Every structure is written in structure tokens, then in C-alpha cells.
Amino acid sequence: MKKFFLIVLAVIGIPFAAFVLWAVAEVTVLTMADGDYDEGDYAAALEKWHFASKFSFSGQADTAIGKLYLEGEGVEKDENEATRWFTRAADNYDLEGMYFLGMQYNLGRGAPLDYEKAAHYLGMAAKYDHGAAQFFLGNMYMYG
């Protein structure tokens, strides 16, 4: 009944209801994709993450797709394609996407070796308490 009520409000132009409906749909699709991934059904997860990526601005789906390409899970391993997806995620302020993009630049995987860009993206994620980003950024400062 609540979903029906939200749909009616969204259709008649209540902006908050439309936003809530969109947020619930996004979380549902991302949760379903994560479940498919955990079960090893990478193709189904990829399809749902692509759908979420088209209609979301969170970057979470973009990061998940990038990780598939980075590891070659369900797709051909392609570090350049992974970097493209991590860039989209970072542009949408996804901390995990920023971390992975920073690591791509730090290691020269799918992106040119560029310590300044690596420090930039790792720093953005570290600023918001991403533990791994803080660790690698600290190592960059400590060891040069």
C-alpha cells in the first residue's frame, strides 16, 4: 500500500515522493545486483548495475562495474575499461570509486602512472575516512 501511495504522489507531481520512490528503487536494484554477484552470477549483476548506473548519481554501480572489469569477473579483464568506470564513480563522489581510481594511477594499471593524480583521488577518499585510501596515501607521503 505504501508503494502505491508513493507512486500516486509521484505521478501527481509531489517531488519528495518521486525522490523517495527513486531512492527505494535504486537501493533495491543495487541490493539485487549485490546478491547476484555474491552467488557468482556476474552477468545478472552486471546487467542490474548497468541499469542502476543509467538512473543513479551515487556512483556505487559504476564502481561495481569497474571492479568486474578490473578482476575479469563475468567480462574480459580490461584495466582501461575499469579505469573508465572508476572515473565515472569518482565524478559522482563515490568513495570506493575514488580509491580504486587513485590506485589505478598509483600502480599505472589502466591509466598512466601519475602519483599526483593518485594522491588527489586517494586524498579525496581518505578525507572521508576511507581506511585503505588513508593507508596508501600515507605510504605515498612516507616513502615518496
Cα gap 94→20, rounded to integer Å: 20
**For the segment 64-115, what is each residue's pLDDT rounded down to a tens digit?**
999 999 999 999 999 999 999 999 999 999 999 999 999 999 999 999 999 9
Is CATH 1.25.40.10 correct for 57-143?
yes
Under 8 Å between Cβ of 62 and 53? yes
* Residue 109, C-alpha cell as written in the block: 594499471
Grid coordinates representing 1 are 500500500
Domain residue ranges of the chain, discontinuous segments joined by +? 1-41, 57-143
Asked if 20 and 51 count as a contact pair (C-beta separation under 8 A), the reply is no
pTM of the model: 0.81
